Each structure stands twice: as C-alpha cells, then as structure tokens.
Structure 1
Amino acid sequence: MPPSPLLLSPSVSNELGRGNAKAVKFAIKTILGTSTSIGIVLWILCMVFRNQISYLFSSDEEVAETVSSLSIFFAFAILLNSVQPVLSGIATGAGLQSIVAYVNLGCYYIIGIPMGILVGYIADLQVKGLWIGLMSGVVMQSLILGWFLWKTDWDEQVRKASERLNRWLLKPPEEDNESPFDA
C-alpha cells in the first residue's frame, strides 16, 4: 500500500516549519516518487496476475470470472490511489486544507458520482461503469491537486508558516532571579 496521507503531511509541514523550501520540494519529490513506484509495482502485479487474484478469495468459477473481469479496474485504482492520497497529504501539510476539501467534494460529487451513474446505469456497464465514474473523480482530483502543488510558491509557503508559528508561539514567562526557597 502507498504511504498514508496522514504520514505525509507532517514531513511537508515539518519542513515548512523549519523554514526550508528546498527540503519541502525534496520531500514532495521523494514522497511522490516512492508512492508512485509502489503503485506501479502493484499495478504490474495486478495486471500480470489478474486471472489468478480471484482464487485468493474464492474457488467458485463464476466469482473468479467476475473478479478477473474487474481486476484491470482494480489495478488502475491501485495506481491512481497511490498518487491521489499523497497529493492530498502534501496539500494538507502545506496548509491548503480548505482547497483539498473543496476539490474532494467537487471531484466526487460533481464528477465521480454523476459519471458513475451515467456510465454504470445509463450506459449499462453496471459495476464497471460505477468504477469508471469514481476513478474519473480520482483522476480529476489528482490533476487539480497536482496543478495546485506545481503552482505553489514554496518560499511563500515557508514565509506563511513562519508567520503562523510566530503568531501562535507562546513565549515562556520571565523568570525571577529569586528562588521561592530563598528567605
């Protein structure tokens, strides 16, 4: 499985907090490269063993045929979902939570679900159509978040993070030179 987005946002946000834009860019490249590589390996495995995957779960021939016909969709879902959560985690770690929320809502409820209903029920592709619709939402979400992250000025994000830290940083109270034990 690709790394969880919950694990990704701290690496980006930690580097932003340290004030190092180059390290942020390096972390993003490393996270995306690692997750994409894992996704590609799993995609290849699913494509190579697509007819045998079903036998891990059932020995029924009808189930095996159905799963085999859906395994290509499963392989592409793994590939897409190795990138999309990473992009969401990076954007969240960069403080773009509201953008991520709007993109998620828009891509799933405006693109993915209507497309799934259209292709699944109207075009009569059933489960395959639903999967195509939802994956189209994931593709759109990945493209939009990727574009936002590509266009992000990371030096500016470091400055904003520094301002937030300075605004919320509590300074320790002034210490007296006198000890409470001095009498």
Structure 2
Amino acid sequence: MSGWEFMICLGFLGAACVRVANELGSGNAKAVKFSIKVVLTTSVLIGLFFFILCLVFGHKIGYLFTSNDEVADTVSNFSTLLAFTMLFNSIQPVLTGVAVGAGLQGMVAIVNLCCYYLIGIPIGVLLGYVAHLEVKGIWIGMICGVVTQTLVLSFITWRTDWDEQVNKASERLDRWFLKLEEESNQSSNNA
C-alpha cells in the first residue's frame, strides 16, 4: 500500500473510532449506525477508486518509479495484488476503528493476531516457499489475512447490538464519574 493511501486509511480508522465512541457516549445508537455507514461507504468508494486505478493502469504503474522496462514489467505482474491490497486495506481500518470505538480493543487484538499469524503468514509461507510463488505467494498470504480480518470485523460490526453498547458506555461513564467524584471529595477532605 502506498504511504499516502495508508495515511488516508489511518485517518479513517481514527475518525471511525472517535465518532463511534462519541456517539456511544452521547447515548445515540442510531447515530452510531449512521456514522458507520457513512465512513464505511466513503472508505469503500475510495478503495474501489484505487482498485480500478491499479487494474486499469497496472502496466504503467512501474514507470512512475523507474524507466527500466524489466522492473516496470515486474511491477505490472503485481498490479492485481496491489489492487486487492488497496481495496481491502481501505475497508479493514474502518472496521477496526468501529470496533475500537465500541470498546472492543481486546477482541480486535485477538482478531489481528489470529488473522495474520494463524492465517496470513502460514498461507504466505506455503505459497511463497512450498508452491514457489516467492514474493507473490507471500503477498497473497497477507491479503488472505486482511480479507479474513475484514470478514471477521464485518461480522462483529453487523452482529453488534448498538443499543446494548450505548448502555455499556453509559455504565462505564457512570463508573468513571463516581470515581472522579470520590477522588475529588477525598482530596478536598485531606486539604
């Protein structure tokens, strides 16, 4: 993934996380669902734009970085993989941000570890070294990890009861406010 496209997706991750957390904190489950739809749709459209761009101009992408025909041909062989990488790496950060914003950081960490270390890397090693696809095989393995992560996070987002998440967020806020009030009362009593 190119650096600037990565930064755009990282921005969407942060935006999704903050927006979901803010809406949960304000007690508005309907706004959470709407925010998820908006940021996911925007990210998918951007991902599709770059996906199509990589497929259409895949044979010319290498010439942006070199004038060597052999290097450009090698890069063009990877343009389909680059296209799928762009697409799924535009969706996955948004879903990660949604889950983190909902307070599911632990689940996201487990999904990340399982998808990359139990699925992506083993498939990449098998395709790269056993099937002798080399770099292409390793890249396909990593795409498999990202696709799996995207599917799992999509399922988690789809199955989440956002009204229940609003209640959980409200309970967490109440606990924090009670602790802060107790601490401020203790500090004023000690003074």
State whether TM-score is above 0.5.
Answer: yes
* Residues 147-172 of structure 1: CA deviation (Å, up to 9, x unaligned): 11111000000000000011102349
Instruction: Tell me which residue corresponds to 2:188.
Output: none
Aligned-residue CA RMSD in angstroms? 1.3
Instruction: Tell me which residue corresponds to 1:141.
Output: 149
Say if 2:153 is the partner of 1:163. no
- Cα drift, residue 62 of structure 1: 1.0
* Residues 67-104 of structure 1: CA deviation (Å, up to 9, x unaligned): 00001100110001011111111000000000000000
- Cα drift, residue 37 of structure 1: 0.4
Instruction: Tell me which residue corresponds to 2:22.
Output: 14
Map 1:21-100 → 2, pairs under 5 A: 21-100=29-108
**Partner SS for 2:58:** coil
Quick one: distance in 1 between partners of 2:83 and 2:9? 17
Structure 2: gaps spanning 5 or more residues: 186-191
CA contact (8 A) 2:9 2:89 kept: no
Instruction: Tell me which residue corresponds to 1:179.
Output: none
Q: 1:112 aligns with which of 112, 120, 123?
A: 120
Amino acid at match of 2:76: S
Amino acid at match of 1:109: Y
Quick one: distance in 2 between partners of 1:124 and 1:117? 9
Q: Identity of paired residues, percent? A: 57
Structure 1: gaps spanning 5 or more residues: 175-183
Q: How many residues align?
A: 174
Greater helix content: 2
**Partner SS for 1:83:** helix
Say if 2:76 is the partner of 1:103. no
Q: 1:131 aligns with which of 101, 115, 139?
A: 139
Q: Which protein has the larger Cα radius of gyration, Structure 1 or Structure 2?
A: 1
